[in-house]
Chain A
Amino acid sequence: MIRPPFAILKLPLLMLLTALLLATGGILWGQRQAHNAEAALQQQNTALNQARQQLDRSRQQQRLLTTHLGDYQTLVARGFVGTEDRLAWIEAVQLANRDAGLYGLGYRLMPRTASPSSLAQGLPLGQTRMTLTFPLLVETDLVRFLDALKTRASGVYHVQGCRLSRPDNTPFEAANHPHLQAECDLLWFTVATTTEARHE
């Protein structure tokens, strides 16, 4: 085996080493370029998918708005969305009492509280308890009052309960004098807008 003459092969070896270094450097540079380009492509792909989903969602939202915007604006007008309109509620029960031909009523509005999450379904739904006390001549006056309230109340409410009692425990008389006392609990519902919810 003849040993290679290293002494005179310095330049070729240097050339080989240089070529190796340049080739390695070039390959690494190219790999990095390709890797960066792949990452950029991946990123662009993700952004495109997100944009596509956003567009689909916006189209869907557009359809939803077309279908429900009218109803929503009606709800806004009725006071279901936005701040409480307590005066409107008081006015509604007064008018319903008058429409039913009853004898006046007493009311008490509690502070607004958040509705149970099972009912709110993620919406900023609040409820305000209104306790009504009013005299009745006969039991059916209550039905007439509640029917009248349905007509007069623009907001969304729920009659949580009523109690009819005869306070003086007097027997029935055929006179136009109310002996029955009704006490009803109503829940007025409102959905806070985003700004309101933030303030709360």
Chain B
Amino acid sequence: MIMFDHRLLLFATPRQIGVLDWRPGHMHWLGEFSADAEGLAAFRKIVIRHAHLPVLLVADTVDEDYRSEVLPHVQGRARDELLARKLKQVFRNTRFTGAWRQARETTGRRDDRYLLAALPDAEWLTPWLSVLHREHVPLAGITPLALAYQHLLEKLREQSAHTLLACRLNNSLRLSYYHNGLLRFSRLIGGDTPAQLPGNAADEIAKTQLYLSGQRILPREARLHVLLLDPSGQLDSAQAQLNADPAFSTRLIDMSSLARALRIPDDFLAATPEVAPLAAIAGETLKLNLAPPELLQHHIEFRWRRGLHAAAGIVAVLGLGLTAAYWLHARDLDDQARQLAQQYQQFDARYQAIARTFPTQLMAPEQLVQTVNLARQLGQAQTDVTALFSAIGQSLLATPDVALDSLGWTDESPAANGGIQVNLDAGLSPFDGNYRAAMRRIEEFMRTLQAMPGVYNVTLRSSPVNADSSSTLSGKTLNPDAASAPAARFSLNLLFREARP
């Protein structure tokens, strides 16, 4: 989100206001405007031109008050109510107040440590704020300059436990105390009206140390690390005096190292040293906001509007991205389908070329093969009559008293090699009327037949005589030399199965 962060930073003192147009990696000093009608009109023009940008106002005034408080750890609405009560109690009817939850105690009830701050007399801010309000400028907040300097210390990587920043700007000396990098106290010396700065900054620093110790803000045994920041170089003389006192250690911050830490050009910083704290706080989250809620309404609207615009943009980009992804995927699939269609056409062309070689008005090739195979199968299924006649003929030769009357066979299925059913009608000659002997001779003939190759299941279908108890049996017996004996006729069934290849 910080990539799209573009804002105006106002550096407000009772005498004037400076305007910095800032966005990450780029800043532009729009000028200083004095607190008179002409300055207000010029300021208004600038504001109108940048009315769409959120504004952070950094106040630099003598009338500021800081108070450290340890309050019970509560959250949400309870915390808001607690802080509102506390601010009202501490600062009475001051309009510009704020609380910053700096840390949580590590012992006891683990209470929260707050820094309460206020601008008790900030009437001088009203004209500037009126301009902002009239032009519907989204005021993000009002914060003391000392907080901006805290971010400056972070940029300078100052990590001392007790740091006092002495900064000379606009003919005033600001002394700000930071404990473990967090603002605890600040005061401006020199007044809001052009006046002569007290000659000895070292004395003021020593007095401040005594005050902090007296207020138990600074532990008595603590050694105060003093950072001297003065674009005009007037604080250089204080360094030697402070170094002589073992209660202090000092460091003089030169403008080039400050410009390097803030990543701004040296000459730009030298020309407008006010941009140093503004550049330091510009990209940071505002921790201590002294603006009353009614002044922040436009900023709330601005944030909602920006959030909704961002959401709409994200949704649109996501939608566009997904749509494009689907569309590209569809095109990719289309390409694949096109390639497959080409392959299909190639296959079809090859098929057509082959199909053209097929004889027309012909059955399907598979059926054709089947027809050829069936014809072969049917052609091979002919009964070997010679083998059948041979088997029966040999049997008749072996039993010369059997005379063949008729012979028939049926081969129902040309496909299966199940054998052929043979029916044989014959008679015994001569026959003397002895049916017992006749049956023996018939059985012998049947055994002879059964012994022939390919002959199976020889059965007697009808015998010369029916000796069944349920039927009438009549006849006459004859002598062996009788001339005309009745024939003893019988019928046989058999199965003949030749060896087919």
Contact = CB atoms under 8 A, between A and B. Distances in A.
Given A143-B389, A156-B378, A26 B323 contact: yes
Contacts of A38: 333
Nearest to B297: A5
Given A55-B347, A191-B371, A64 B366 contact: yes
Interface residues of B, number: 77
A61 interface: yes
B103 interface: no
Interface in B177-194: none
B423 to A, nearest CB: 8
B365 A65 contact: yes
A151 interface: no
A12 B354 contact: no
B69 interface: no
Given A36-B330, A45-B340, A68-B372, A23 B358 contact: no
A185 B351 CA distance: 47
Contacts of A30: 322-327, 329-330
Interface in A33-92: 33-34, 36-38, 40-41, 44-45, 47-48, 51-52, 54-55, 58-62, 64-65, 67-69, 71-72, 75, 80-81
A37 B330 contact: yes
A62 B354 contact: yes
B344 A47 contact: yes
B485 interface: no
A161 B319 CA distance: 86
- What are the nearest 8 A-B pairs in CB distance? A23-B319, A30-B326, A163-B408, A26-B323, A161-B410, A12-B308, A37-B333, A61-B365
Interface residues on A, range: 35 or more
Contacts of A118: 415
A105 B311 CA distance: 107
A40 B329 CA distance: 13
A125 B374 contact: yes
A125 B412 CA distance: 16
A113 interface: no
Interface in B206-250: none
A52 B344 CA distance: 8
B363 interface: yes
A52 B407 CA distance: 60
B496 to A, nearest CB: 12
B203 to A, nearest CB: 48
B184 to A, nearest CB: 30
A8 interface: yes
B105 interface: no
A188 to B, nearest CB: 10
B478 interface: no
B381 interface: yes
Nearest to A2: B300
A193 to B, nearest CB: 7
Contacts of B354: 55, 58-59, 61-62
A65 B111 CA distance: 99
A52 B349 CA distance: 11
